[in-house]
Structure 1
Amino acid sequence: MNAAEKANGLENATKIAAIVNLFKTQFPDARADLKPWANDPDTRELVDPDSIDIGFHLPGWSPKFQSRSILVQIRFFEDPAAQTHNVIGVEAVGFSHNGEQWRLSTIDQWQFRGAAQPRSPIQAQLKDFCRQVYELFSPSQGEDEK
């Protein structure tokens, strides 16, 4: 679901802003897009309501990234008993004008897949970003604030 739609309270808005800042710390030239999904019925059918989706656009096609845009999807599992949302996975997908170029899924052994993959330093930075997202949403993070 578009991050802009998930920013419906102070806690969610703060965490979404933190995600953007984490990404921009790794990749300062990226521009965040809190509404990467079109608002049409066909697209709406594909959108996961239990995710936060943010697009990041680079200034142009990047040989280091092998892409122009990156879609980040943070997938959650809601535990009603504990009243928490736990991250079950982070997916990052690189796109160029030719479509999807590569995919990183923390659910799939943190491996990059695709015809054109980012260079090694970029892969390491993307994995570090994913680890930081997990830390941001870890249960201990909320306990520290209480």
Structure 2
Amino acid sequence: MNAAEMATSLEFTSKIATVVNLFKREFPDAKSDLKPWHNDPDTRELIDPDSIDIGFHFPGISRSWRVRSLLFQIRLHLDPETNSRFCVGVEVAGFDHRGEAWRLSTVENWKFVGATMPSEQVGERLKQICRQILEIFNS
């Protein structure tokens, strides 16, 4: 679900802002997008209501990322006993003019899969950002 729609409490708004600032501190030329999904019926059917989705766009194809846009999907789970949400993982997809170029999931094995891959240095920085996102949402 669009991050802008998930910012329903001060706690979630603060955590979303922290994630955006964390990424922009590492990659200052990226532009954040708190509404990466269109608001149409077809798209609405595909949206996971238990995720916080944030897009980041580079001002052209990034040579180190090998993509132009990123989609972060912070996967949440509602604990019925405490009625609180915690993060079960982060999925990141990189997109170029052909569509999805690569994907990273912390839910599975923390490996990049796809037609092209980001540079090793960027990949490690991205994994560190994912670790920090897990800490932000599970603290």
Report the TM-score range of the alignment, normalised by the length of the smaller protein.
over 0.9
- Structure 1 equivalent of residue 95 of structure 2: 95
Residues in 1 aligned to 2:73 and 2:35: alpha-carbon distance in whole angstroms: 12
SS in structure 2 at match of 1:124: helix
- Structure 2 equivalent of residue 136 of structure 1: 136
How big is the shift at 1:93? 0.3
SS in structure 1 at match of 2:37: coil
* 1:22 to 2:10 alignment: no
SS in structure 2 at match of 1:92: strand
- Structure 1 equivalent of residue 58 of structure 2: 58
* 1:69 to 2:88 alignment: no
How big is the shift at 1:80? 2.1
* Percent of aligned positions that are identical: 57
SS in structure 2 at match of 1:25: helix
Runs ≥4 residues deviating over 3 A: none
- Structure 2 equivalent of residue 32 of structure 1: 32
- Structure 1 equivalent of residue 105 of structure 2: 105
The superposition leaves residues 88-107 of structure 1 with CA deviations (integer Å, 9 ceiling, x where unpaired) of: 11000000111000000001
Residues 38-49 of structure 1: pairs in structure 2 closer than 5 A? 38-49=38-49
SS in structure 1 at match of 2:60: strand
Residues in 2 aligned to 1:91 and 1:127: alpha-carbon distance in whole angstroms: 10
How big is the shift at 1:83? 2.3
Q: Which amino acid aligns with 2:20?
A: V
The superposition leaves residues 21-50 of structure 1 with CA deviations (integer Å, 9 ceiling, x where unpaired) of: 111122111110000000011100110000
TM-score scaled by structure 1? 0.93
Equivalenced residues, count: 139
Residues in 2 aligned to 1:137 and 1:13: alpha-carbon distance in whole angstroms: 11
Residues in 1 aligned to 2:99 and 2:74: alpha-carbon distance in whole angstroms: 21
How big is the shift at 1:137? 1.3
Q: Which amino acid aligns with 2:26?
A: Q
Alignment gaps of 5+ in structure 2: none
- Structure 2 equivalent of residue 144 of structure 1: none
Q: Which amino acid aligns with 1:2?
A: N
Q: Which amino acid aligns with 2:16?
A: I
TM-score scaled by structure 2? 0.97
Residues in 2 aligned to 1:54 and 1:46: alpha-carbon distance in whole angstroms: 16
CA RMSD, 1 decimal: 0.8
